C-alpha cells in the first residue's frame, strides 16, 4: 500500500491514539508514506470509513496487554523508519516497547512521542486536553472576547502545537539520520508546541505592544481593521486590512468618509469607538453584498463561511482544497510538490482489517498467524464491504 509523494520510501508504525498522533500519521500517509496502525481488538470508536483523521492507513489489531504481544509488535517495528505513539509517559516502557528496546533491534528508528506535558516534569503524568495545555502556556488568556477566554476549537494544542510539531520533529530526526545513520526519540509536548506557535505574540508582549486584556490588541479582535463584523442578513465578514493602503482601499470601496475612521486607526484609545461605528456600517449590507463590493481587490475582506460553504468557494474549487470521495468532503493533502505530487490516500481502515496481510509482510508464517489468532492475541476483521 505504498503511496505516491515525497515520503513514498518511508515506513511508519502508528500505535493507536487520539488527536495529534493520528493527525501526524495521516499527514505522513498523505505525503506517500506507508503507514499502518496497531489498533486494540474490539475497538469501536474509529469504525467508519469517513474518519478523515484515520485515512491512508492499514490496521492490525493486537492486544498489547497480552503475554507475547511485545515480541509480535517488535517484529512489526523492526522494518519501520518511524514509530508514533501517544500514550502517557512510561506506558510503552511497561509494555516492553520503549525506545531502548526498539532501538536495540532497530537503531535507525525515529521514535516519535506525543503527550500533553512531555515525557518529564511535574505534570508529565497528569491527564489533560488541548484546552488545558494552551491555558497553562499563556495562549488561552489572549483568545476570546473581553469577558472570558474561549476554546479555539482544539487546533492549537492538539494539531498545531501537537501533531504538526511532532511531524516537524520526526522529519528533523530523519534528516539527521541521513548523516549519523542513527534514529532518536522525538519528545513532542502539546503545551510546548502550543507555546512555540505564539512566538510572535511573545515578541509583541516583550516589546510592550501587547496588553493582557483581550480585545485590546492587534490580532485579538481589538483592532477595528482586524476583526469580524455581523452583516444585515446575520452573516459575518472578516476584515483584515492591517496595512494603511488596504484600510484606505476598504474605506474607499465602502464609500466611508467618516473622519474618525479615516484618520484615527492607529489611536488605540479610539479603537472601541471605531469598532462600534464600523459595526453599524456593516449592518447596512448583507454579507454577500459586502464581499461583492470588495471582490478582486486588496481590501482584505472575506466571508466567514461554514464547513459546507467553504467547499464551494471559488478559490477552494480552483485549487481543489477539498476532495469528496464517496460524496463526503474532506481537506485535500497539503502542501503541494512539483516533482513528487501527492494523491489522496485510501479511506480510514476498520480495526483489524489488514491484520493477516501485515503480519505476513512482517515475516509471520501462516501457522504463526493462525496460532496468534487462536490465542486471541491478534484479531482479523473482515469488513462488511469485503465480506
Instruction: Clarify whether residues 247 and 289 are in a common domain.
Output: yes
Q: What is the mean pLDDT of residues 231-251?
A: 98
Could you give the dihedral angle defined by the CA atoms of residues 198, 83, 88 and 330, in that order, rounded to the nearest 10 degrees? 60
Predicted confidence at residue 383, as pLDDT, reads 73
Q: What is the mean pLDDT of residues 108-124?
A: 97
Predicted confidence at residue 48, as pLDDT, reads 81
Residue 384 has pLDDT above 80, yes or no: no
> How far is Cα 349 from Cα 266, in angstroms, rounded to an integer?
53
Q: Express each pLDDT in 359-370 by its tens digit.
A: 999 999 999 999
Instruction: Clarify whether residues 182 and 258 are in a common domain.
Output: no
Q: Express each pLDDT in 8-26 by its tens digit.
A: 999 999 999 989 999 999 9
Indicate which residue of 30, 39, 130, 158 is catalytic.
Answer: 158
Consecutive H or E run containing 178: helix 165-180
Q: Is residue 215 part of a domain?
A: no
Q: Is residue 207 part of a domain?
A: no
Instruction: Clarify whether residues 116 and 35 are in a common domain.
Output: yes
Q: Is residue 164 part of a domain?
A: yes
Q: Express each pLDDT in 263-286 by its tens digit.
A: 999 999 999 999 999 999 999 999
User: Confidence band (pLDDT; 50, 70, 90) for 314?
Assistant: very high
Q: Is residue 125 part of a domain?
A: yes
Predicted confidence at residue 2, as pLDDT, reads 63
Catalytic-residue membership of 158: yes
Residue 381 has pLDDT above 90, yes or no: no
Instruction: Clarify whether residues 169 and 47 are in a common domain.
Output: yes
Q: Is residue 92 part of a domain?
A: yes
For residue 242, what is its C-alpha cell?
A: 492591517
Q: Is residue 218 part of a domain?
A: no
E strand map for 124-220: 185-189
Instruction: Clarify whether residues 260 and 382 are in a common domain.
Output: no
> How far is Cα 142 from Cα 367, in angstroms, rounded to an integer?
59
Name the residue among 109, 53, 118, 67 with its Cα closest to residue 84. Answer: 109
Q: What is the mean pLDDT of residues 291-316?
A: 97
Instruction: Clarify whether residues 241 and 173 are in a common domain.
Output: no
Residue numbers of the domain that contains 280: 226-318
Predicted confidence at residue 4, as pLDDT, reads 86
Buried b (16+ CB within 10 A) or exposed e, 304-336: ebeeeeebeeeebeeeeebeeeeeeebebbeee
Residue 1 has pLDDT above 60, yes or no: no
Instruction: Clarify whether residues 26 and 50 are in a common domain.
Output: yes
Residue 125 has pLDDT above 80, yes or no: yes
Number of domains in the chain: 2
Predicted confidence at residue 44, as pLDDT, reads 62
Q: Express each pLDDT in 327-364 by its tens digit.
A: 999 999 999 999 999 999 999 999 999 999 999 999 99
DSSP string, 313-356: -HHHHHHT-EE-GGG--EEPP-S--SSS-----PPPPPTTTTHH
Examine the fold and report which residue of 318, 348, 364 is the final residue of a domain before the chain moves on.
Answer: 318
Q: What is the mean pLDDT of residues 222-251?
A: 98
For residues 84 and 110, the answer to whether their CB atoms sit within 8 Å is no
Examine the fold and report which residue of 270, 289, 318 is the final residue of a domain before the chain moves on.
Answer: 318
Q: Is residue 202 part of a domain?
A: no
Instruction: Clarify whether residues 298 and 336 are in a common domain.
Output: no
Residue 46 has pLDDT above 60, yes or no: no
Examine the fold and report which residue of 318, 336, 354 is the final residue of a domain before the chain moves on.
Answer: 318
Share of the chain above pLDDT 70, in %: 97
E strand map for 231-324: 236-240, 301-303, 322-323
Residue 382 has pLDDT above 90, yes or no: no
Predicted confidence at residue 50, as pLDDT, reads 86
Mean pLDDT across the chain:
95
Instruction: Clarify whether residues 308 and 341 are in a common domain.
Output: no
Q: Is residue 256 part of a domain?
A: yes
Instruction: Clarify whether residues 264 and 366 are in a common domain.
Output: no
CATH number, domain with residue 338 = 3.40.50.10540
User: Confidence band (pLDDT; 50, 70, 90) for 303?
Assistant: very high
Catalytic-residue membership of 129: yes
Predicted confidence at residue 36, as pLDDT, reads 96
Instruction: Clarify whether residues 295 and 240 are in a common domain.
Output: yes
Instruction: Clarify whether residues 83 and 116 are in a common domain.
Output: yes
Amino acid at each position: 500500500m505504498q503511496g505516491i509523494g515525497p515520503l513514498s520510501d518511508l515506513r511508519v508504525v502508528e500505535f493507536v491514539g487520539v488527536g495529534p498522533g493520528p493527525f501526524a500519521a495521516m499527514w505522513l500517509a498523505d505525503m506517500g508514506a506507508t503507514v499502518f496502525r496497531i489498533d486494540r481488538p474490539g475497538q469501536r470508536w474509529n469504525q467508519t470509513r469517513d474518519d478523515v483523521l484515520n485515512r491512508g492507513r492499514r490496521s492490525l489489531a493486537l492486544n498489547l496487554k497480552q503475554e507475547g504481544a511485545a515480541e509480535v509488535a517488535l517484529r512489526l517495528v523492526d522494518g519501520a523508519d518511524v514509530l508514533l505513539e501517544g500514550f502517557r509517559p512510561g506506558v510503552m516502557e511497561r509494555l516492553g516497547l520503549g525506545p531502548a528496546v526498539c532501538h536495540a533491534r532497530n537503531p535507525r528508528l525515529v521514535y516519535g512521542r506525543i503527550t500533553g506535558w512531555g515525557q518529564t516534569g511535574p505534570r508529565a503524568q497528569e491527564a489533560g486536553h488541548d484546552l488545558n495545555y494552551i491555558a497553562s502556556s499563556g495562549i488561552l488568556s489572549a483568545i476570546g472576547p473581553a469577558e472570558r477566554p474561549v476554546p479555539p476549537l482544539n487546533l492549537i494544542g492538539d494539531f498545531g502545537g501537537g501533531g504538526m510539531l511532532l511531524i516537524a520533529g520526526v522529519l528533523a530526526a530523519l534528516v539527521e539520520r541521513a548523516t549519523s545513520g542513527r534514529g532518536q526519540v522525538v519528545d513532542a509536548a502539546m503545551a510546548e508546541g502550543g507555546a512555540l506557535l505564539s512566538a510572535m505574540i511573545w515578541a509583541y508582549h516583550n516589546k510592550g505592544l501587547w496588553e493582557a486584556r483581550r480585545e485590546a490588541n492587534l490580532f485579538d479582535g481589538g483592532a477595528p481593521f482586524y476583526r469580524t463584523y455581523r452583516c444585515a442578513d446575520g452573516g459575518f465578514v472578516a476584515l483584515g486590512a492591517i496595512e494603511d493602503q488596504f484600510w484606505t482601499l476598504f474605506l474607499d470601496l465602502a464609500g466611508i468618509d467618516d473622519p474618525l475612521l479615516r484618520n484615527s486607526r492607529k489611536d488605540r484609545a479610539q479603537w472601541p469607538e471605531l469598532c462600534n461605528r464600523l459595526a453599524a456600517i456593516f449592518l447596512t449590507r448583507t454579507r454577500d453584498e459586502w464581499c461583492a463590493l470588495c471582490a478582486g481587490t486588496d481590501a482584505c475582506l472575506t466571508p466567514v463561511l461554514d464547513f459546507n460553504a467553504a467547499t464551494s468557494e471559488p478559490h477552494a474549487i480552483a485549487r481543489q482544497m477539498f476532495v469528496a470521495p464517496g460524496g463526503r468532503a474532506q481537506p485535500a493533502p497539503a502542501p503541494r510538490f512539483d516533482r513528487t505530487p501527492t494523491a489522496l490516500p485510501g479511506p480510514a481502515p476498520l480495526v483489524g482489517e489488514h491484520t493477516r496481510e501485515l503480519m505476513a509482510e512482517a515475516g509471520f508464517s501462516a501457522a504463526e498467524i493462525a496460532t496468534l489468532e487462536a490465542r486471541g492475541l491478534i484479531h482479523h476483521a473482515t469488513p462488511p464491504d469485503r465480506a
